[in-house]
Amino acid sequence: MKIIAKEVIADCPGAKIVKLVLASAQISQKAQAGQFVVVMVDEKGERIPLTIVDADSQANTITLIFQVVGLTTKLLGALDVGDTLYALVGPLGQATKIKKYGEIILVGGGVGIAEIYPVAKGLKAAGNKVTVILGARTKEALILEKELKSLADKIYLLTDDGSSGEQGFTTVVLEKLLKKDKHDLVYAVGPIPMMKKVSELGLASKIKTIVSLNALMVDATGMCGCCRVRVNGEVKFSCVDGPEFLADQVDWEELEKRNSMYRVKEKHICKLKF
């Protein structure tokens, strides 16, 4: 649980993104694409879920990439090489089904780009043709561009301000691609409005579309019920049944409501401690 390496990979207004390499022999041996860990920075801190972006079973390390958005990510981002986390649990969640589908489009928005990286890597290694669409606010926040360029067959870059790639939204490019050619799978991670739109586009084109949900979690072992989401009319626990689900079956309105449940308190707590 010791921090072996740290890099601030983006630091611009509205997006500070940090990469940490952590020593964890057990998690690095077992981690699969699509899984996550739960991190506690200190004894009294909350637990937060973060995707395992990379795992090196030779070096016994895992890599996490996170955006500083509130108290816990601020505390985590303030740690340095040599510091130790209070607790690290994982790998958690169902792994991505890695197999040959054919032609796949992966869509990553904001820090969701970090979450699509291990999936893109696995799907490419399984022999799929991989197209990647990445979107961020600005050029600085467009993370893992080099890494994804080196594995993707085709890559589209978009920024809100046009500072890198085209100006606009990932979903506009997705819509064009789905209209133009036949694809076998769409996989998306990013802000809820982006994933909801991706879901609508996938459904309209009758293409299997998978999303990895960012439901609020507490224990992340299926015991507290905090991460419940409605999928195909049934209640599912995102931590053990997900975090991936078929996009068109997700009740997006309910997810949005549940995720904003503590927004006022989160802002207040963050201000109090810093």
Ligand X SMILES: Cc1cc2nc3c(=O)[nH]c(=O)nc-3n(C[C@H](O)[C@H](O)[C@H](O)COP(=O)(O)OP(=O)(O)OC[C@H]3O[C@@H](n4cnc5c(N)ncnc54)[C@H](O)[C@@H]3O)c2cc1C
Pick what 115 binds: ligand FES, ligand X, none; C-beta below 5 to 8 Å, kind-dependent: ligand X
43: nearest Cα among 86, 74, 80, 90: 86
CA distance 186 to 132: 10
State which of residues 28, 31, 61, 66 lies at the interface with ligand X (CB under 6 A). Answer: 66
Write the interaction track for ligand X spanning residues 25-54; mark x where CB under 6 A is met and - where it is not. -----------x-----------xxxx---
Q: Please report whether residue 39 would count as binding ligand FES according to CB under 6 A.
A: no
CB of 38 to ligand X, least distance (A): 8
CB of 122 to ligand FES, least distance (A): 24
State which of residues 219, 251, 266, 269 lies at the interface with ligand FES (CB under 6 A). Answer: 219
Residue 62 CA, chain-centre distance (Å), reads: 15
Residue 68: both structure tokens together: 């500083």
Q: Please report whether residue 216 would count as binding ligand X according to CB under 6 A.
A: yes
Is residue 208 within 8 Å of 246, Cβ to Cβ?
A: yes
Residues found in the chain? 274
- List the strands of the sheet with 36-40, edge to edge: 47-51, 36-40, 87-92
Q: Please report whether residue 263 would count as binding ligand X according to CB under 6 A.
A: yes
Residue 130: both structure tokens together: 């991989």
Site for ligand X in 79-118 (CB under 6 A): 111, 114-115
> Could you tell me the sign of the dihedral formed by the alpha carbons of 202, 204, 208, 210, in that order?
positive
Nearer to ligand X, 51 or 96 (CB): 51
Nearer to ligand X, 69 or 79 (CB): 69
Nearer to ligand X, 64 or 157 (CB): 64
- Distances 257 to 44, 99, 260 between C-alpha atoms, Å: 27, 34, 5
251: CB partners within 8 A, 6+ apart: 229, 230, 231
Q: Please report whether residue 214 would count as binding ligand X according to CB under 6 A.
A: yes
CB of 236 to ligand FES, least distance (A): 10
Q: Please report whether residue 191 would count as binding ligand X according to CB under 6 A.
A: no
Nearer to ligand X, 202 or 242 (CB): 242
Q: Please report whether residue 15 would count as binding ligand X according to CB under 6 A.
A: no
Q: Please report whether residue 222 would count as binding ligand FES according to CB under 6 A.
A: yes
Is residue 231 within 8 Å of 250, Cβ to Cβ?
A: yes
31: nearest Cα among 88, 95, 85: 95
CA distance 29 to 60: 7
Residue 20 CA, chain-centre distance (Å), reads: 15
Q: Please report whether residue 70 would count as binding ligand X according to CB under 6 A.
A: yes
- List the strands of the sheet with 54-56, edge to edge: 3-12, 15-23, 61-67, 54-56
Number of residues counted as binding ligand FES (CB under 6 A): 12
Q: Please report whether residue 172 would count as binding ligand FES according to CB under 6 A.
A: no
Q: Which residues bind ligand FES (CB under 6 A)?
A: 217-220, 222-227, 237, 239
Q: Which residues bind ligand X (CB under 6 A)?
A: 36, 48-51, 65-67, 69-73, 111, 114-115, 214-217, 243, 259, 263, 266, 270
